[in-house]
Structure 1
Amino acid sequence: MKMYNSLTERLRNQHLAIAELVAGTSNDKLTLPSMPGKWSALDNVAHLTRYQKIFIDRMHQILNEDVPVFDRYNGDLDPEFTPFRSMELPDLLDIIKADRVTIIDLVSGLTDTELPRIGVHPKYGRLTISKWAEFFVLHEAHHLFTIFQLVNSTE
Structure 2
Amino acid sequence: MNIYPSLSQRLNTQHQAIQQLIAGVSTQQLNTPMAPGKWSALDNIAHLAIYQKIFVERMHRIINEDTPAFERYNGDLDPEFTPYRSMPLTDLLDTIEAGRVTILNLITQLSDSQLSRIGIHPRYGNLTIVKWLEFFVLHEAHHLFTIFQLVNAPQ
Which TM-score band applies after superposition, normalised by the shorter structure? over 0.9
Match for residue 55 of structure 2?
55
> What is the percentage of aligned positions where both structures have the same residue?
66
Match for residue 111 of structure 1?
111
Match for residue 17 of structure 1?
17
String of CA shifts for 1:22-62, please: whole Å, max 9, x gaps: 01100000000111100000000000001000000000000
CA distance in 2, matches of 1:88, 1:140: 20
Match for residue 72 of structure 1?
72
Shift of 1:109: 1.1
Match for residue 129 of structure 1?
129
CA distance in 2, matches of 1:46, 1:29: 15
TM, length-normalised to structure 2: 0.99
Q: Aligned to 2:106, what secondary structure does the other structure show?
A: helix
Of stretches 103-112 and 141-150 in structure 1, the one that deviates more from structure 2 is: 103-112
Map 1:89-108; keep pairs closer than 5 Å.
89-108=89-108
CA distance in 2, matches of 1:31, 1:130: 34
Match for residue 8 of structure 1?
8
CA distance in 2, matches of 1:68, 1:140: 22
Report the number of matched residues. 155
Shift of 1:2: 1.6
String of CA shifts for 1:105-139, please: whole Å, max 9, x gaps: 11111101101000000100000000000000000
1:120 matched to 2:103? The reply is no
Gap regions ≥5 residues in structure 1: none
Gap regions ≥5 residues in structure 2: none
CA distance in 2, matches of 1:32, 1:101: 30
CA distance in 2, matches of 1:150, 1:113: 41
Q: Aligned to 2:99, what secondary structure does the other structure show?
A: helix
CA distance in 2, matches of 1:60, 1:126: 16
TM, length-normalised to structure 1: 0.99
Match for residue 45 of structure 2?
45
